[in-house]
Amino acid sequence: MADIRITGRMVNFSRLTFDTNDHNAIRQQLTNTLNEGSYLGTLVILDSTVEQELIALIQLLIDLGLQPMAVIDGLLGDEARAIQFPVLPADQPLQRIKASKEQVVEHPVEKAATDPAIETPQKNTSTKHITSYHDEILRTGQCLVQDQGDIILNAGMNSGSEVIASGNIHIYGNARGRVIAGAGGHSSARIFCNSLEAELVSIAGTYCVADDIPKDMIKKPVHIYLNNKQELEFEALQF
């Protein structure tokens, strides 16, 4: 029996592109973003439009709770190879677009009980859940991302497009392109679509490419979720 097994699993990551090599400025901007908590522990690949001290940049990101995994070939490529850090080929990134509208719901966060004898100032904290609504067809080369909630596509999506949400994805049209729900590891996320014709579907990193989607689900209304074994389940919707 072989001692090595090869299995497929999508790795969810974010791409950080730096237009400055001022690490104090980078730290300040990322700290403001990370305070909301949605990116902590995120795998990141690095790209830059300016020269960088790569080792120092990697350490900075680790200190902030991120996990650098590779750089995009370009200005960072040679320095990464010199320290045997992974280098990914340069690509043509998708055009990230804004949703037609968003709905924000804030949920208060309950704090643990503290010693009443110790007076400490209390701050009201809350978490945001955002639902992005998009009324136009998501076109080839476009990407719609919502890392704090759900996405609802009212007009479907074309091949070569991509939709990514930390929560659920609802597609009231043809679901072509790449459909990625549960980004960041939210295994309870679900995908609902009116006509499943996707190049790839994924929930919390578990993915299925077009050739492996059950044939009886193609071009049908489908509900996709993870079962108890963390496998994708495809369930036909009845209207």
Instruction: Reply yes or no on whether the pLDDT at 180 is more than 70.
Output: yes
Q: Are 124 and 108 in contact (CB under 8 A)?
A: yes
Q: Is 223:235 a contact under the CB 8 Å cutoff? A: yes
Report the pLDDT averaged over residues 128-143.
93
CATH number reported for the structural domain that contains residue 183 in this entry: 2.160.20.70
Are 141 and 226 found together in one domain? yes
Predicted pLDDT at 235: 95
CB burial readout 176-189, b (16+ within 10 A) else e: bbbbbbbbbebeeb
Q: What is the pLDDT of residues 25-68, one digit of tens each?
A: 999 988 887 765 556 778 889 999 899 999 999 999 999 999 99
Shared-domain flag, residues 176 and 143: yes
Q: Tell whether 50 is covered by a domain.
A: yes
Residues 202 and 10: beta-carbon distance below 8 Å: yes
What range does the domain containing 21 cover? 14-88
Is residue 127 very low, low, confident or very high in pLDDT (cuts 50, 70, 90)? confident
Does 84 lie in the same domain as 136? Answer: no
Report phi then psi at 216, rounded to 5: -75, 0
Domain count of the fold of the chain: 2
Edge-first strand order for the sheet with 206-209 is 95-96, 142-146, 162-165, 178-181, 200-203, 206-209
In-domain check, residue 5: no
Q: Residue 108's pLDDT is what?
A: 73
Give residue 15's pLDDT.
84
CATH code, domain carrying 21 = 3.30.70.260
> Are residues 99 and 208 both part of a single domain?
yes
- End of a domain among 88, 115, 144? 88
Q: What is the mean pLDDT of residues 181-186?
A: 87
Q: Are residues 77 and 142 in the same domain?
A: no
Provide CB contacts within 8 A for 80, sequence distance 6+.
54, 70, 71, 86, 87
State mean pLDDT over 112-128. Answer: 59
135 and 213, same domain (yes or no): yes
